[in-house]
Amino acid sequence: MAATALPPIGPADPLGREVFSQRDSARAAKGNVPHKAFLEKPGVDVLSLDRLDLAPDIVVAQIADKNAERRHQTFYGWAVVSAEHAATNGRTVRAVPRPDNPYHAEIQLNISQSSERRDVEKQHALELAAAASWRGRPS
């Protein structure tokens, strides 16, 4: 049986960045999503996210729990940003389903190679965090 194709990402679709830090999740739950939630290792300009509108939170959380287990961490919830905002300032958003996560998406930061690269990565993270809301792990 062929898998059902998922719809394209729409502007209002919520994209969730998995958060594995208890401290960051506590700050986010109080309305202050830390920019670290949208910051990758230096030089990595692709952010992995979950498309949160395609399945119940508990289903997507089970996938996040497996990601956390591989990292020897705990999944606490998502820093959520709309696809429309994620695609501003030269960023590109695309659905990239994976065998272990059919709801996977990516934000490509489109950063040129320069000596200020890390500063640009941080600026993108700050912009995304400023527009983000918190969605805690479902019980």
Mean pLDDT, residues 98-120: 90
- Provide the residue ranges of all domains of the chain, joining segments of one domain with +: 14-136
User: pLDDT tens across 45-99, in order?
Assistant: 899 999 999 999 999 999 999 999 999 999 999 999 999 999 999 999 999 999 9
pTM > 0.85: yes or no? yes
Burial (CB < 10 A; 0-12, 13-18, 19+), residue 53, is middle
DSSP state for residue 2 in the 8-state scheme: P
Length of the chain: 139
Query: What pLDDT is recorded for position 1?
Result: 40
Q: Which residues have a Cβ under 8 Å from the Cβ of 85 and sit 6 or more positions away? A: 128, 131
Mean pLDDT, residues 9-14: 97
Q: Taking a C-beta distance cutoff of 8 angstroms, is the pair 37, 49 a contact?
A: no
Q: Bridge-partner residues for 92, per DSSP?
A: 108
**How far apart are alpha carbons 82 and 128 in whole angstroms?**
9
With cut-offs at 50, 70 and 90, classify the pLDDT of residue 115. Answer: confident
Q: Which residues have a Cβ under 8 Å from the Cβ of 23 and sit 6 or more positions away? A: none
